[in-house]
């Protein structure tokens, strides 16, 4: 291709990508200074990660982002903020406006490269500029790419898959180095792309070894160099700031591919949509929208040509047909997972060994693995048209493109001018002035009960995204250090029970747990200020100067049990002060969260006398057996002698009428799912409390 042709092609793709980007976003959302469309779904954490990263000092690893997560050793990678663009724009942060987002530019960039690289692939094989231009339009309107811009724009960078496939067409002396560079580049976009490229690379290496096209030494050498390069890059970027097992996640077998996905136009933006004017929507199960891969009517024709190629032809198109068959089979079945469904019918669902399941948890959204197969189908199909119809290939391909665009217009109309973004106008949690004033008084905003992706984050994300606070643990991250979350959760609880308020220094805590708020109100009265904000409570050791007195929280009274009428403490009553417990919605029981929990209660009546007996009925959380020495009971700062009978803790205490009692339950035998090797959760559990009665 001569230089002038290449310039014209680039101008064409830049123009097409600009037009399509504005169609998909509208001028309003395309504006890099407009972040209003990033307040929906998973989008806020992308922008929040960038906002904290851009103003932070340079660190090592390169993408360390500790202020968004505080104690979590967070990294920009785990907020999915597209490190490639974050690194570039941080360098020029000094000239950027305060309210800057690069995700609209990323969508433009991805569409542009999607078109250009697909053009280069087709042109390298056909040497026809016009045919390649027509063929590349199929890739610009890729359903699986456009589908992703709604909530996961980082996953719209499908050009990296096409770029890797393009390297297969290079000369042997350039191929390996180029492929290695592309794999490293994918680490700066999203790790799912890296996994996909590594799978393709290693399967092809294995195929070459079996057919003796490469020696064992050559395969091992290339495989080692790719792996060691990726590992070193991951260390530099900060992938290992969390442990390898924290990189695992639940979902394999749930977020999988459905067997009807290639023919199913069922899509999703902020509502359910159809991508086809010709085919009807078909049912899915579970989270199988992750496997969305509708081919379109012309894509289905390409699928037939693709199957013909891999089963009956010998001529190479990118890969040898048998190598491509092997790659397709392995990736296709991994994307289906162990839960194979056709529509709403389950074909087979078989259990996985827990260690194999842990391995597959690296790509828990296995439906995404179908992406390279989607592009294989289009590349092989388009090239097959070129070969089968040498005199009329452009005409035939243009007709197929017309049918494809007519079909897909049913889905594209739902993306017009950013219709896919569900931007609320209610303004329920966007009272910015309120939070600007608060942030001048506090450096940190923290959760009373640390957890990733809470309801508090979902509601406050328009505030969090503004990074008014220097640091926060009100976050939503794709991967977190589960152990540190659990440790911090229990440290906060211990300090509050011990009345150590040092953690409140320059820090505002927030919670939606009325039980904990009641406990703090009754046990740290005049030490911690409590304010009601919407459906949350704010806690601080200093008075918040601008908040009106009517926003100050006043708890209802502690429920008083009249022993003449009943003898059961209402442990599920939210007005009963409790701290260190969780409510099990399914079993309707109280979970002891961590080593200990505390609660307050009051008694009255003629039966409120000395030597009353308290019975705590419980059941083991993990079917463990307990001994008396596994528990400690302290009431009103006095340790009690315990009798354990049939999962009932029994002890005596002196009942004083209308006295606020303080009951502390301690378990020395507690485990997390991780300890039991049945899951990844690090929160410690021991017993489920059924009831507390007094006799």
For 75-103, write each residue's pLDDT tens digit.
Answer: 999 999 999 999 999 999 999 999 999 99
The per-residue pLDDT for 425 is 44
User: Rounded CA gap, 15 and 112, in Å?
Assistant: 9
545 with 570, same domain: the answer is no
Q: What is the pLDDT of residue 202?
A: 97
Residue 289 tokens read as 């929208």
| Domain limits for position 494 | 437-551
| Residue 305 belongs to some domain of the structure | yes
Summarize pLDDT for 482-512 with one digit per residue, the tens. Answer: 999 999 999 999 999 999 999 999 999 999 9
Output the pLDDT for position 526: 86
164 and 181 belong to one structural domain: yes
**Strand order of the sheet with strand 444-447?**
471-472, 444-447, 507-511, 536-540, 529-533
**Same-domain check for residues 609 and 534:** no
Question: Is residue 143 scored above 80 in pLDDT?
Answer: yes
pLDDT for residue 92: 96
519, 551, 583 - which closes a domain: 551
Among the three residues 418, 451, 482, which one is the final residue of a domain in this structure? 418
Are 186 and 298 part of one and the same domain?
Answer: yes
Instruction: Please write the tens of the pLDDT for every residue from 237-295.
Output: 999 999 888 887 888 999 999 999 999 999 998 889 999 999 999 999 999 999 999 99
In this structure, the answer to whether residues 404 and 477 fall within a common structural domain is no
Do 147 and 241 belong to one domain? yes
d(CA 375, CA 158): 9
Place of tokens 């995700």: 103
Mark whether 407 and 352 lie in a shared domain. yes
Say which CATH number the domain at 632 has.
2.60.120
Same domain, 478 and 373: no
Cα-based angle 278, 283, 285 (whole degrees, multiple of 5): 145
What integer pLDDT is reported at residue 549 of this predicted model? 65
What is the residue-averaged pLDDT of the chain? 93
Among 389, 418, 447, residue at a domain's last position? 418
39 assigned to some structural domain:
no
Answer yes or no: is 71 within a domain: no
Co-location of 398 and 443 in the same domain: no
| CA quadruple 603, 609, 611, 612: dihedral, nearest 10 | -40
Is 78 within a domain?
no
- How does residue 212 score in pLDDT terms, banded at 50, 70 and 90? confident
List, for residues 527-573, the tens digit of each pLDDT value: 999 999 988 999 999 999 888 766 676 667 899 999 998 999 999 99
Residue 356 lies inside a defined structural domain of this protein: yes
- Tens of pLDDT, residues 400-426: 999 999 999 999 999 999 888 876 544
Q: Are residues 670 and 635 in the same domain?
A: yes
Gap between the Cα atoms of 17 and 140, Å rounded:
8
670: in domain: yes
In a domain, 346, yes or no: yes
The per-residue pLDDT for range 103-125, each reduced to its tens digit, is: 999 999 999 999 999 999 999 99
Say yes or no: 403 and 503 in one domain.
Answer: no
> What are the angstrom distances between the C-alpha of 631 and each of 266, 565, 613, 615, 651?
54, 30, 17, 14, 12
The helix (H) or strand (E) run that includes residue 693 is strand 685-694
In total, how many domains does the chain have?
A: 3
Q: Is 50 exceeded by the pLDDT of residue 155?
A: yes
Is residue 157 one of the residues assigned to a domain?
yes
Q: Look at residues 639, 633, 595, 615 and name the one whose alpha carbon lies nearest to residue 694.
A: 615
- SS3 state at 122: helix
**422 in Cβ contact with 40 (< 8 Å):** yes
Mean pLDDT of 579-599: 92
What pLDDT is stored for residue 529 in this prediction? 92
Question: Between these two residues, 17 and 610, which has the higher pLDDT value?
Answer: 17
Residues 527 and 605 placed together within one structural domain of the fold: no
């Amino acid at each position: 291709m001569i230089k002038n042709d290449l310039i014209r092609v680039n101008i064409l793709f830049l123009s097409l990508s600009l037009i399509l980007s504005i169609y998909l976003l509208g001028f309003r959302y395309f504006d890099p200074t407009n972040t209003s469309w990033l307040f929906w779904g998973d989008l806020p954490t992308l922008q929040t990660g960038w906002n904290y990263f851009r103003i932070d000092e340079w660190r090592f690893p390169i993408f360390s982002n500790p202020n968004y997560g505080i104690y979590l050793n967070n990294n920009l990678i785990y907020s999915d903020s597209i490190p490639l663009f974050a690194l570039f724009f941080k360098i020029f942060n000094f000239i950027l406006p305060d309210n800057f987002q690069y995700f609209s530019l990323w969508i433009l960039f991805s569409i542009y490269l999607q078109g250009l690289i697909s053009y280069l692939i087709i042109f390298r094989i056909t040497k026809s500029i016009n045919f390649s231009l027509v063929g590349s339009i199929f890739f610009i309107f890729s359903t699986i790419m456009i589908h992703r811009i709604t909530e996961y724009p980082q996953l719209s960078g499908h050009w990296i898959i096409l770029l890797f496939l393009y390297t297969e067409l290079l000369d042997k002396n350039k191929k390996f180095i180029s492929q290695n560079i592309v794999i490293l580049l994918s680490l700066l976009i999203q790790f799912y792309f890296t996994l996909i490229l590594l799978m393709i690379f290693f399967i092809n290496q294995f195929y070459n070894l079996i057919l003796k096209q490469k020696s064992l030494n050559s395969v091992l050498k290339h495989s080692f160099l790719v792996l060691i390069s990726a590992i070193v890059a991951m260390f530099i970027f900060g992938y290992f700031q969390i442990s390898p097992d924290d990189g695992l996640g639940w979902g394999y077998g749930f977020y999988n591919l459905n067997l009807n996905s290639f023919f199913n136009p069922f899509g999703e933006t902020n509502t359910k949509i159809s991508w086809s004017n010709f085919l009807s929507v078909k049912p899915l199960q579970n989270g199988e929208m992750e496997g969305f891969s509708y081919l379109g009517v012309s894509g289905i024709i390409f699928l037939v040509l693709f199957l013909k190629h891999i089963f009956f032809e010998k001529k190479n198109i990118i890969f040898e047909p048998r190598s491509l068959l092997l790659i397709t089979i392995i990736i296709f079945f991994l994307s289906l997972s162990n839960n194979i469904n056709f529509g709403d019918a389950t074909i087979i669902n078989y259990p996985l060994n827990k260690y194999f399941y842990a391995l597959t948890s690296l790509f828990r959204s296995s439906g995404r693995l179908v992406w390279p197969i989607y592009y294989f189908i289009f590349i092989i199909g388009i090239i097959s048209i070129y070969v089968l119809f040498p005199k009329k290939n452009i005409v035939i391909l243009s007709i197929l493109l017309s049918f494809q665009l007519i079909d897909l217009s049913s889905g594209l109309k739902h993306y017009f001018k950013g219709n896919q973004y569900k931007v609320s106008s209610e303004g329920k949690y966007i009272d910015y002035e309120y939070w600007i004033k608060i942030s001048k008084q506090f450096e940190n905003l923290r959760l009373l009960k640390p957890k990733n992706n809470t309801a508090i984050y979902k509601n406050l994300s328009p505030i969090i995204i503004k990074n008014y606070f220097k640091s926060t643990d009100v976050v939503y991250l794709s991967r977190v250090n589960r152990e540190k979350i659990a440790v911090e959760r229990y440290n906060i609880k211990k300090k509050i029970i011990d009345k150590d308020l040092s953690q409140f220094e320059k820090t505002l805590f927030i919670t939606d747990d009325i039980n904990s708020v009641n406990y703090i109100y009754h046990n740290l009265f005049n030490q911690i200020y409590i304010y009601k904000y919407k459906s949350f409570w704010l806690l601080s050791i200093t008075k918040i100067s601008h908040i009106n007195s009517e926003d100050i929280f006043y708890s209802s009274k502690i429920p008083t049990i009249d022993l003449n009428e009943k003898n059961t403490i209402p442990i599920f009553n939210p007005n009963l002060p409790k701290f260190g417990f969780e409510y099990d919605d399914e079993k309707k029981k109280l979970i002891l969260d961590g080593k200990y929990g505390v609660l307050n209660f009051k008694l009255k009546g003629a039966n409120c006398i000395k030597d009353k007996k308290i019975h705590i009925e419980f059941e083991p959380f993990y079917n463990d057996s307990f001994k008396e020495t596994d528990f400690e009971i302290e009431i009103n700062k006095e340790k009690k002698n315990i009798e354990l009978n049939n999962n009932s803790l029994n002890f005596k205490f002196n009942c004083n009428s209308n006295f606020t009692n303080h009951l502390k339950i301690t378990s020395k035998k507690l485990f997390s799912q991780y300890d039991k090797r049945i899951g990844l959760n690090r929160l410690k559990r021991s017993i489920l409390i059924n009831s507390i009665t007094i006799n």
